Amino acid sequence: QVQLVESGGGVVQPGRSLRLSCATSGFTFSSYDMHWVRQAPGKGLEWVAIICSDGTKNYNEDSVKGRFTISRDNSKNTLYLQMNSLRSEDTAVYYCAKENDYDAFDYWGQGILVTVSS
């Protein structure tokens, strides 16, 4: 079955960096676009970033442009999110999500909490 498992979260000071990973299995990872979606405590879902299946194109939501970088290693079936210059407003549960053939997110990880605090 399809599985997505995030790791790498934790508590980090403002201005510091963190890298999230999302290990996947149960599907042909290299055939699908992948996303990161986040959810601040008690708030709604917010789309963060997309990377195309072959890794050649990626796009971010405006508030993380220039600070967050999405990447993937198709040989390891793993998705990444490098987060630099972290701010308190980046505090959230971060989900990796697989995109289906119809621009929807059909499988999600369990989520990983990132807390930005001094």
Partner 1 sequence: QSALTQPASVSGSPGQSITISCTGTSSDVGGYNLVSWYQQHPGKAPKLIIYEDNKRPSRVSNRFSGSKSGNTASLTISGLQPDDETDYYCCSYAGRYTWVFGGGTKLTVL
Give the residue among 18, 16, 10, 21 at the shortest CA–CA distance from 71: 21
The reply on whether position 75 binds partner 1 by CB under 8 A is no
Contacts with partner 1 by CB under 8 A: the residue count is: 22
H-assigned helices in 5-60: none
**What helix, strand, coil percent values describe the chain, rounded to 5?**
10, 50, 40
Q: Can residue 108 be called a binding residue for partner 1 (CB under 8 A)?
A: yes
Looking up tokens 């000071």 gives: 13
Q: How far is the CB of 23 from partner 1 (least distance, A)?
A: 15
Contact 111, 40 (CB under 8 A): no
Give the footprint of partner 1 on residues 48-67 (CB under 8 A).
50, 57, 59, 61-62
Q: Is 27 in the site for partner 1 (CB under 8 A)?
A: no
Residue identified by tokens 């990444």 is 80
Residue 80 interacts with partner 1 (CB under 8 A)? no
Positions touching partner 1 (CB under 8 A) are: 35, 37, 44-47, 50, 57, 59, 61-62, 95, 100, 102-106, 108-111
